[in-house]
Amino acid sequence: MNAWNHTTETEFILMGLTGSKEVQLVLSVMFLLIYVLTVLGNIGMILIIRLDIQLHTPMYFFLTHLSCIDLCYSTIITPKTLQNLLTSIKNISFMGCFTQLFFFALLVATECFILSSMAYDRYVAICNPLHYPAIMSPRLSHSLITVSYMIGALDSSVTVFCLSTLDFCNSKVIHHFFCDTFPILALSCSDTYGAEATIFYLAGATLLLSLIIISSSYVSVLSTILKINSSSGKHKAFSTCASHLLGVTVFNGTMIFTYLKPSKSYSLGKDQVASVFYTVVIPMLNPLIYSLRNKEVKSAAIRVVKKREYTQKLK
C-alpha cells in the first residue's frame, strides 16, 4: 500500500456533514445564523464586562477569556464548514488542516482550565468570603489564565506532532466537517497505537485534572451552602454558581462522550452530532447561560445602555 505524508501530498478533502444539496442548504442557513449569534453574543459579553466597572472582578475576568475562546474556536471551525456546505471547495491543505486542529485543541484544553479557575473562584467566594480579595488577587487571576493557555498549548502541540508524523494511505478523504483527531487517525496506514495512546491519555489527564478541581471546589461549596440557615441565603449562594455549573456540565459532557474512548469506538454519525454541538452550538449558548441566568450581567447591560443613551443626549 502506498503511503504519503506532508512531504509528498499537500491537502486533505473534508467530506462535511452530508451529501444532500437540500440538507446542505438548510444546515448552511442554520450554521450561519448560529455563528452570527455566537459572534454578537460573545462580543457583547466582552464589551459589557469591559465597560461596566462593577464587573471588573476575577469571575468576570475569567468569563471574558471564556467568551474570547468560544468566539475563536467557533471562528476556526464554522466559516470553513459554511464554505464546504455552500460551495464545491472541500479541500484543505495539510498545513491548514493541522493548523485548524492545533488551535482547536489549544482552545478546548484552555477552556477546561478556565472553567476550573472559575470553579475555584466560586469556592473562595462562598467558602472564604472574608479572604476573597486577598486570595483572588489580580496576580493570581492572571497566573491562572496564563497557566491555562500554557497547558492548552502543550496539549495541542503534542497532539499535532503525534498526528503529523504519521504516514497516510492512498485515501486523503476526511469523513468529518473539520480536522479532528479520530478522523485523521482513521486515514493513517502507519501503526497508530503510540499516537492514539498518547493523545488519549493526554486528553484524559486534561479532562480528569479539570474535573477534579471543579468537583472538589463544588463539594466544598455545597457543604458550605447546606450550613447556611436561611433559605434566601442558600438560594443567593447557589445562584452565583448555577450558570457555571450548567456551562461545565454541557461542555465536559460532550468532551467525555467524544474523546475519552478508543478510536475503534468512533461512530461517524454520533460523533458528528456531538462535534456540531460543542464546536457550533456551545459557543452560542455560553453567553446566554452566563447572561440570562445572571442578574449582575443583566444589570450591567442595562447600565451600559443607559450610560450610552445619556452620553448621546449630552452630545
pLDDT on residue 40: 92
Question: Which stretch of 37-41, 138-142, 208-212, 273-277 has the lowest confidence by average pLDDT?
Answer: 273-277
Q: Which residue has the higher pLDDT, 261 or 186?
A: 186
What would the mean pLDDT of 219-243 be, rounded to a whole number?
Answer: 78
Q: How far is CA 136 from the centre of its chain?
A: 24
**Distance between CA 260 and CA 257 in Å, rounded?**
6
Residue 71 has pLDDT above 60, yes or no: yes
Which residues, other chains included, contact 40 with Cβ-Cβ below 8 Å and sequence gap of 6+?
none
Query: In the block, which residue shows the cell 479572604?
Result: 131
Taking residues 117-139, report their average pLDDT: 92
Residue 288 has pLDDT above 80, yes or no: yes
Q: Is residue 169 scored above 70 in pLDDT?
A: yes
Residue 218 pLDDT > 60: yes
pLDDT tens column, 195-216: 888 988 888 888 889 989 999 9
11-314 is a CATH 1.20.1070.10 domain: yes
pLDDT value for 252:
78
Full-model pTM? 0.86
Q: Among all chains, which residue has been given the C-alpha cell 442558600?
A: 234
Q: What is the percentage of the chain residues whose pLDDT exceeds 70? A: 85
Tell me the pairing of strands 91-93 and 173-174. Answer: unpaired
Query: Does residue 93 carry a pLDDT above 80?
Result: yes
Q: What is the pLDDT of residues 146-160, one digit of tens each?
A: 999 999 999 999 999
Confidence class of residue 271 from pLDDT cuts 50, 70 and 90?
low
Ranking 91-95, 136-140, 243-247 by mean pLDDT, the lowest is 243-247
* Selection from 4, 15, 9, 6 nearest residue 179 by Cα: 15
Average pLDDT, the chain: 83
**Whether residue 178 has pLDDT greater than 60:** yes
C-alpha cell at 46: 466582552
Query: Residue 1: is its pLDDT beyond 60?
Result: no
pLDDT at res. 131: 92
What residues have CB less than 8 Å from 109, skipping those under 6 apart?
151, 152, 155, 156, 206
Summarize pLDDT for 49-61 with one digit per residue, the tens.
Answer: 888 888 888 999 9
Name the nearest CA neighbour of 82 among 131, 128, 141, 36: 36
- Report, as an integer, the average pLDDT of 17-37: 88
Task: Say which range, 31-40, 78-87, 203-212, 227-236, has the weakest mean pLDDT.
Answer: 227-236
Residues 133 and 52: their CA atoms lie apart, in Å, by: 19
